[in-house]
Amino acid sequence: MLTHQTIAMNPLEHQIHYPLGDLLPPEGVAMEVATSVKWIRMGLPFALDHINLWLLRDRQPDATGTLIDGWTIVDCCIDSPTTRQQWEQVFLNSLEDLPILRVIVTHMHPDHIGLAHWLCERWQVRLWISATDYNVARTAVYDRNGFGGEAGADFYSLHGVQDEDFLEHVRGRVSYFPTLVPALPATFRRLMDGDQLEIGGRMWQCISGYGHAPEHIALYCAEVSTLISGDMVLPRISTNVSVHAAEPESNPLQLFLASLLRYLDLPTDTVVLPSHGKPFRGLHERVGQLQDHHRDRLGEILQAAKEGSLSAADVLPIMFKRKLDSHQMTFAMGEALAHLHLLWFAGQLQRVLSPVGIHRFQLPLEE
């Protein structure tokens, strides 16, 4: 789940190199992007209209201990008849008559985990994911108020939203997550930061990241200097970082910015395979751009606070210069709160409850 806030016009974007140019994999076909690494691109029914999925050539023991050649899938797309059909085409066109041996999911958002249950059942394999994201996904699947409902509407009202059409939209989102993720595999294999996964004779290191998802896992292979970044580092848009009703006093932007710094330890020539956009080089430059992007938004909010206290709803036109539809506004409100909360936790703003019951953020009162 991402904002559609683009920084494609950032003048620093020329520092990012797309080694494949404008080449994209055809629908239903996996395209090789590195030795034993294939790229799948599937459509999404949102403004962010695609997701990248990955096939890694692998070899795993079966129940008898015999090594079997096949593929590991990284991320799954949402569950829909169209997506299932696209996967069937990939199975037919791109597996080289080899089976799927396991499914890895970087994090619990619907476009990444939606079809995990179907893929794992289809191939009788295990899901690999962080324990935090697996359990949050279970809550979202089976708790129909996880991403909406009355509690969600009350949360947005508390932060200044008065648009009744939007609040009614939020009340109606009780089935949003389970519509896209109708089930989960009953069991999983836990991924943790620092784990080393042997995939096809190569070691892939798990790198945890926070702020976008509860415990996002990226994968880095030093042998081929390749990072499967999931949603943590994207080439042209800024990853959504949100405060949610279920954790109303979180500080996700601080977590996200700290997580980004970990990627500076990787080589400058690392090839990044993102979940959205095209494979690119320029990881360090991109991390710097993202840090600058959020620093600029924080500065704009502090400048606005000099004119008076702000609710999250007041921050929307500061951060987003275009009209937002109801779907986009849920992400935008979460992002606005994430910026306000970073400043609040840092002591640069104070939070107060107004007489009409709205949380507002203001510059600290002088003693």
Q: Is the pLDDT of residue 1 over 50?
A: no
Residue in the structure block whose two tokens are 């096809």: 200
Task: List the domain boundaries for the chain.
Answer: 11-349
63-80: pLDDT as tens digits: 899 999 999 999 999 999
Structure-block tokens of residue 158: 């508390």
In this prediction, residue 166 carries a pLDDT of: 94
Task: Name the amino acid, one letter, at 294.
Answer: H
In this prediction, residue 115 carries a pLDDT of: 98
Is residue 315 a contact partner of residue 340, using CB atoms and an 8 Å limit?
A: yes
In this prediction, residue 63 carries a pLDDT of: 86
Residue in the structure block whose two tokens are 């080694």: 19
How many whole angstroms separate alpha carbon 356 and alpha carbon 333? 19
In this prediction, residue 321 carries a pLDDT of: 87
How many whole angstroms separate alpha carbon 37 and alpha carbon 202? 11
Could you give the strand order of the β-sheet that contains 188-190, starting from the edge strand earlier in sequence?
A: 31-34, 37-43, 50-61, 67-74, 100-104, 127-129, 188-190
Q: Is the pLDDT of residue 145 over 80?
A: no
Instruction: Give the pTM.
Output: 0.94
State the pLDDT confidence band at 14, using cuts at 50, 70 and 90.
confident
Q: In terms of DSSP H, where are the helices of the chain?
A: 81-94, 110-113, 116-123, 131-142, 149-158, 164-171, 176-180, 252-261, 283-305, 312-319, 326-345
Q: Is the pLDDT of residue 244 over 80?
A: yes
Check if CATH label 3.40.50.720 holds for domain 11-349: no
In this prediction, residue 146 carries a pLDDT of: 59
What's the mean pLDDT in 4-18? Answer: 61
Give percent of the chain with pLDDT exceeding 70.
95
